[in-house]
Amino acid sequence: MSVPRIVTALVASVLVGGGTHLAQAQSAAPKASKGAAAKPAPAKPEAAKPEAKPAAAVAGNPEPTLIGQFGTWGAYTATPKGKKICFALAKPSSSKTNPPNRPRDPAYAFVSTRPTEKVTNEVSIMIGYSLKPGSESTLEVGGASYAMYTQGDGLWIKNAAEEERMVDAMRKASDAVVKGVSAKGTETTDTFSLKGLAQALDKLAQDCKR
């Protein structure tokens, strides 16, 4: 099965640059235990740099390899700049906008692991439009709502100390709901089926051992 070109671009903008966003979020969460927290949080102007790089230059070659499809979730590995990364990827099972039928790019959910950065199961969402600066975005799963840090068209959990609990809930729940507001004020609701996510993460844990 060929890997969609969009996946290569998303690897660059979400996975490779994810540590920058996570470090920013963790600057407000001193209890976070993830390895990425050890990195100093960059100033806001620096945070935009990973997104400004061309996808091909960051992701490099070869392209991500699909190692298994589990329900709605694909399990992929890639080696940008010689550093192995593993991630599960899915598109929403349903998307709604308010006002209705507003145009937007496709949304994707990622759960990624980057062994060289000691990052495991980092959740990120590419929402498909530029988010309204300062707006509140949330991911709802398992009866709980998690505040999401936003930048550009990406979402990452605001309190990294809650990420492990959120991923555990995602393993067990049937779906997750992501809500955001675009720069133009459009409200969006994306529902992601979580069928197959637990199996995809188990596969990646085996394939992405350090």
Give percent of the chain with pLDDT exceeding 70: 70
Q: Is pLDDT larger for residue 4 or for residue 81?
A: 81
Domains of the chain: 5-207 (2.60.40.1880)
Give per-residue pLDDT as tens, 10-20: 666 555 445 44
pLDDT for 66 beyond 70: yes
**CB-based burial, 139-172: b 16+ in 10 Å, e otherwise:** bbbbeeebebbbbbbbbbbbbbebbeebbebbbe
pLDDT for 28 beyond 80: no
pLDDT for 198 beyond 90: yes
Give per-residue pLDDT as tens, 155-185: 999 999 999 999 999 999 999 999 999 999 9
Rounded mean pLDDT, 110-117: 91
